[in-house]
A = this chain, B = another copy of it.
């Protein structure tokens, strides 16, 4: 039998989450409200906003898109933070594009941060802290694109459910091409926290994230490595790309046979012939990200109403 590659679409992975969210909202007769702020003219951001609106309509979430001038955004966020009718807030990035965007991420109230990008939630990912509270009743919100990729990896069997929770990637080598503060770096940390050896590739060099012996639980360890992209990709079971330009193409020749290839960039980062090497190819993740936004929204809705996992 010739080798063949299976393409897994995000819509397929997101379907089960969407159905579950829809059912949960219906049964509980609630109507959580999400506000999205769009302060750019980026077509990818508009597309993402469209998907959010469409999925929310399908699942019973009230979604309101607010188009604002970037210089007014912070004030509008503060107003939404204080508005009790709003359960979740998200921002379509980039706004300014530089460090000011990271500042904006932390302006969203922790209790409404569906994207999981405020400092507290990102810090918890890096420190492998899984609950917001000491009593472990409130699970942390995880940045939604990294979380979507974890859910895809679970769906396609990269997480081994025979292994104990928190160690289900033990033995896996994964390369992540992108080390942004929004996706690549938290994703590398999440995967390492679950036991994988993760090569993090970026224009600034290559690092390896492994389970370390940090001070909090078993947080990951980061080291610079002196290897080429080809050297790290060729030893990886999973290769995940997220380079935000149409110019970047990861050479198929670098991939090992049977690799799992996942692209989260809005541009195609793998070459057209990627399926000649890959066993599973996931061309995009956006729809799973939107499902995770909704999942985070429901969780925050419950925290706002003091309904935690142990009390519901």
Tell me whether A311 is interfacial, beta carbon within 8 Å. Answer: no
Contact B106 A119 (CB under 8 A): yes
- A71-B207, A106-B106, A119-B119 known; A99 vs B224 contact (CB < 8 Å): no
Contact status B71-A103, CB under 8 Å = no
The reply to whether A123 and B107 contact each other, CB–CB distance below 8 Å, is yes
Closest partner residue, chain B, to A79 (CB atom)? B215
Nearest first, the 3 A-B pairs at minimum CB distance are A106-B119, A99-B181, A71-B222
Return A244 CB to nearest CB of chain B, in Å: 14
Residue in A79, A180, A222 with the greatest tally of chain B CB atoms within 10 Å: A222
Count, chain A residues at interface, CB 8 A: 32
Which residues on B sit within 8 Å (CB–CB) of A106?
106, 119, 123
Q: Is A75 an interface residue (CB 8 A)?
A: yes
Question: Are B180 and A75 within 8 A (Cβ)?
Answer: no
Quote the shortest CB–CB distance from A32 to chain B (angstroms).
25
Digitize A260-302: 1 where CB-to-B-CB distance is under 8 Å, 0 elsewhere: 0000000000000000000000000000000000000000000
CB distance from A30 to the nearest CB of B (A): 29
B215 touches A96 (CB 8 A): no
In the bound assembly, the distance between CA atoms of A28 and B107 in angstroms comes to 39
Q: A180 contacts B71, CB within 8 Å?
A: no
Additional 15 contacts, C-beta under 8 A, given A79-B215, A97-B204, A100-B181: A71-B221, A71-B224, A75-B215, A78-B216, A98-B181, A99-B99, A99-B101, A100-B185, A102-B181, A103-B122, A103-B181, A106-B106, A106-B119, A106-B123, A107-B123
Q: Residue-by-residue, is A203-217 near B (CB-CB < 8 Å gives 1, otherwise 0)?
A: 010010000001110
Report the separation of the CA atoms of residues A75 and B219 in the bound assembly, to the nearest whole angstrom. 10
Q: How far, in Å, is A71 (CB) from chain B's closest CB? A: 4
Interface residues of A in 52-106 (CB under 8 A from B): 71, 74-75, 78-79, 96-103, 106
Question: Is the CB of A223 closer than 8 A to any CB of chain B?
Answer: yes
Q: List A149-187 residues whose CB lies under 8 Å from chain B.
A: 180-181, 185
A63 to chain B minimum Cβ distance, whole angstroms, is 24
Name A120's closest neighbour in chain B (CB-CB): B106
| Contact partners of A37 in chain B: CB under 8 A | none
Contacts of A110-169 to chain B: CB distance below 8 A: 119, 122-123, 126-127
| Cβ contacts under 8 Å, A223 to chain B | 71
- Taking each of A98, A99, A122, A215, which has the highest tally of chain B beta carbons within 10 Å of its own beta carbon? A99
